[in-house]
């Protein structure tokens, strides 16, 4: 069935009109998007990023400073060696040498009805002195050791009695007599090469397993800047050290007192 031509034309006009309106809206939207300016960087973002870049080196420096301080603290100065300590203190070490050194004891007895002084000697002596030539009063004396096994008199029979019975120095634990200085008194304020001076050294003397206080009177002479010589003496009673002298028919009497001497030569080095 055919429709009247007037009804067909009106809807087509309406559709065309609607289509035109839609195209116009679409074109306007496109032009609006094309014309819109591109967004500019937000200043706040730049402000945040710039300090972050600037602060990174500062953070590294702050980290590096403690690290450097820790490294510096870790590198501690080496402890000075004894020679360096002595040099800093102005002290010079002198060591006792066998040549020109002798430890001696003197004891009186009655042998075959005649008075006799028995002398025992050894050069086996060790020890050190530390001296500041500009300040002798600061002198230090280390322990002095005497090899009692090496003490020798004018009689082999007496030597044997000393080593086996009196000092018992043939036993390893009693081989050495040791004097350990505790105090030095009477040192002069200044000393020149060739000058002789006197002073006292108090300390502990150990013979076998007994220790007693003893004071030595010393006379010392600096022979040169590298050599010191001297002699010291003290008197003790041998019974005080628990010593006993065997009785023999030829000896009718032995005094209790024993004179101890040490004549020494010490060289620098």
Is the confidence at residue 11, as pLDDT, over 60? Answer: no
- How far apart are the C-alpha atoms of 119 and 178, rounded to whole Å? 19
Is the confidence at residue 210, as pLDDT, over 80? Answer: yes
Rounded average pLDDT over 87-103: 86
Q: Which domains does the chain have, with CATH numbers?
A: 5-73 (no CATH), 90-268 (2.40.128.110)
- How far apart are the C-alpha atoms of 141 and 145, rounded to whole Å? 12
Query: Between 64 and 237, where is the model more confident?
Result: 237
Per-residue model confidence (pLDDT) at position 231? 97
Tokens of 206: 């150990």
Distances 81 to 78, 84, 86, 128, 267 between C-alpha atoms, Å: 9, 5, 9, 17, 21
Per-residue model confidence (pLDDT) at position 81? 57
- Determine phi and psi for 90, rounding to 5 degrees: 80, 10
Is the confidence at residue 16, as pLDDT, over 50? Answer: no
- Collapsing DSSP to helix, strand or coil, 67 comes out as helix
Alpha carbon dihedral 247, 255, 201, 104, in 10-degree steps, equals -60
Per-residue model confidence (pLDDT) at position 7? 43
Is the confidence at residue 157, as pLDDT, over 60? Answer: yes
Rounded average pLDDT over 224-231: 94
Lowest model confidence (mean pLDDT) among 37-46, 137-146, 186-195: 37-46
Q: Are 231 and 218 in contact (CB under 8 A)?
A: yes
- How far apart are the C-alpha atoms of 125 and 262, rounded to whole Å? 9
Question: Which band of pLDDT confidence, cut at 50, 70 and 90, is reported for residue 269?
Answer: confident
Would you say the pTM of this structure is higher than 0.85? Answer: no
Per-residue model confidence (pLDDT) at position 131? 86
Per-residue model confidence (pLDDT) at position 189? 86
Per-residue model confidence (pLDDT) at position 66? 52
- How far apart are the C-alpha atoms of 125 and 104, rounded to whole Å? 11
Rounded average pLDDT over 87-96: 79
Q: Are 255 and 107 in contact (CB under 8 A)?
A: yes
Per-residue model confidence (pLDDT) at position 137? 83
Rounded average pLDDT over 220-225: 93
Per-residue model confidence (pLDDT) at position 204? 98
- How far apart are the C-alpha atoms of 246 and 238, rounded to whole Å? 13
- Determine phi and psi for 50, rounding to 5 degrees: -65, -45
Please state, rounded to an integer, the average pLDDT across all residues of the chain: 79
Per-residue model confidence (pLDDT) at position 69? 52
Rounded average pLDDT over 106-124: 96
Query: Between 9 and 260, where is the model more confident?
Result: 260
Is the confidence at residue 202, as pLDDT, over 90? Answer: yes
Is the confidence at residue 201, as pLDDT, over 60? Answer: yes
């Amino acid at each position: 069935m055919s429709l009247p031509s007037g009804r067909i034309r009106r809807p087509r006009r309406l559709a065309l009109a609607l289509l035109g309106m839609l195209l116009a809206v679409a074109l306007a939207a496109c032009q609006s998007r094309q014309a819109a300016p591109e967004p500019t960087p937000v200043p706040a973002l730049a402000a945040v990023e710039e300090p972050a870049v600037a602060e990174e080196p500062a953070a590294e420096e702050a980290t590096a400073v403690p690290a450097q301080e820790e490294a510096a603290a870790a590198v501690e100065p080496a402890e000075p060696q004894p020679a360096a300590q002595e040099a800093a203190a102005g002290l010079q070490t002198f060591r006792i040498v066998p040549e020109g050194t002798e430890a001696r004891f003197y004891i009186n007895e009655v042998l075959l009805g005649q008075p006799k002084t028995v002398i025992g000697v050894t050069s086996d002596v060790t020890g050190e002195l530390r001296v500041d030539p500009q300040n002798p009063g600061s002198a230090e004396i280390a322990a002095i050791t005497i090899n009692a096994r090496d003490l020798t008199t004018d009689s082999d029979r007496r030597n044997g009695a000393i080593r086996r019975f009196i000092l018992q120095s043939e036993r390893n634990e009693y081989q050495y007599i040791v004097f350990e200085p505790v105090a030095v008194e009477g040192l002069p304020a200044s000393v020149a090469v060739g000058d002789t001076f006197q002073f006292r050294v108090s300390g502990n003397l150990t013979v076998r397993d007994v220790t007693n206080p003893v004071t030595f009177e010393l006379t010392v002479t600096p022979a040169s800047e590298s050599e010191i010589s001297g002699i010291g003496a003290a008197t003790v009673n041998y019974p005080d050290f628990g010593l006993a002298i065997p009785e023999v028919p030829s000896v009718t009497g032995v005094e209790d007192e024993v004179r101890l001497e040490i004549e020494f030569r010490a060289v620098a080095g």
